[in-house]
Amino acid sequence: MKSVDAAMNELFEHPEKFRSGPNYRASNVVFPVEYKGRNFIVKRSRRVAGLMYAYYTLRDRSTGGVRQWCAGEEGLEREARILEKLDGEHAPRLYGCGKGILMREYLKGKTFREIYELKNRERALMGGVEALEEIHQRGVVMGGAHVENLLWNGSEAYWLDFDGKFDESDVRRAMALDLMGLISSTYAESKYRELALYVARAVRERYPNGAVKDRLVTMLKEKAPRMKGASLEDYVWKVILPWWE
């Protein structure tokens, strides 16, 4: 795992001293800092993170997810390993992790919740699908991609928040759950059926990993065995969307 850069020791030891904004809404303490003219994001574990991870685990398992319980620092360590592996590929760059603190790149852009115009939402979601495929190609599983962790800068999509612990023994299933999470969270956040179906079509048409797509459809067939020969969009309409209504 990437060790703390000696030149940034002061920032790691006293991150509050360089705070440049309020906490973000998150399981851990997450806030922006400015240090020597550069912007970073600090993520620090907190005691209640374990309780929140337990809640997320129960919620995830209720819909067939693969999240496992872990302590706050363990979740940060997983995120650090993933960010180091991705090395800035559709994710923030890692600048170090230790003593319960993770330091990552500050990325400019808008979250899905901050994008209101339909065409821009579609562009962001298409970018999110393509970015997720590239992340999967590197062997990385998010554990249920959620649009609240999608950042769009107008031309490129980034995925944030890789903390937590997940069962990755069946990688294709875990990746298929990422796609299911992206589709279902699009509807959960927007309450717009056509937007969720747009993501399903993007997955079907643009996501080149056929094995993962096939696993997603297989999982949906298991949930609705009477829908023989249905398309991915049909499964989204009849199986995924009702979870959020």
The CATH number of residue 128's host domain is 1.10.510.10
**What is the sign of the dihedral through the CA atoms of 175, 84, 15 and 32?**
negative
Q: Classify residue 123: in a domain, yes or no.
A: yes
Segments of the chain with pLDDT less than 50: 244-245
Residues 6+ away with beta carbon under 8 Å from 103:
4, 8, 11, 12, 40, 41, 42, 43, 94, 95, 96, 97
Angle at Cα 173 formed by Cα 156 and Cα 152, nearest 5°? Answer: 15
Examine the domain organization and report whether 150 and 185 are in the same domain: yes
| Structure confidence at residue 6 (pLDDT) | 67
Residues 6+ away with beta carbon under 8 Å from 52:
27
- List the CATH number of the domain containing 95: 3.30.200.20
What 3-state DSSP class applies to 34? strand
Q: What's phi and psi for 231, nearest 5 deg?
A: -85, 170
First to last CA, the chain: 42
Which has the closest alpha carbon to 160: 82, 47, 54?
A: 82
Examine the domain organization and report whether 219 and 197 are in the same domain: yes
Checking DSSP bridges between strand 110-111 and strand 150-152, what pairing results, if any? antiparallel
Examine the domain organization and report whether 90 and 117 are in the same domain: no
Question: Which 8-state DSSP code applies to residue 67?
Answer: E
Q: Are 74 and 68 in contact (CB under 8 A)?
A: no
Could you tell me the residue range of the domain that residue 28 belongs to?
9-105
Examine the domain organization and report whether 75 and 151 are in the same domain: no
Q: Classify residue 59: in a domain, yes or no.
A: yes
Examine the domain organization and report whether 185 and 76 are in the same domain: no
Residues 6+ away with beta carbon under 8 Å from 187:
193, 195, 196, 240, 241, 244
Which has the closest alpha carbon to 196: 184, 213, 181?
A: 184
Q: Classify residue 126: in a domain, yes or no.
A: yes
Q: Classify residue 1: in a domain, yes or no.
A: no
What's CA 244's distance to the chain center, in Å?
19
Into how many domains does the chain fold? Answer: 2
In the structure encoding, which two tokens stand for residue 69, read together? Answer: 């319980």
| Structure confidence at residue 151 (pLDDT) | 97
Examine the domain organization and report whether 92 and 175 are in the same domain: no
Examine the domain organization and report whether 210 and 240 are in the same domain: yes
From 42, 72, 105, the end of a domain falls on: 105
Predicted TM-score (pTM) of the model is 0.84
In the structure encoding, which two tokens stand for residue 57, read together? Answer: 């685990």
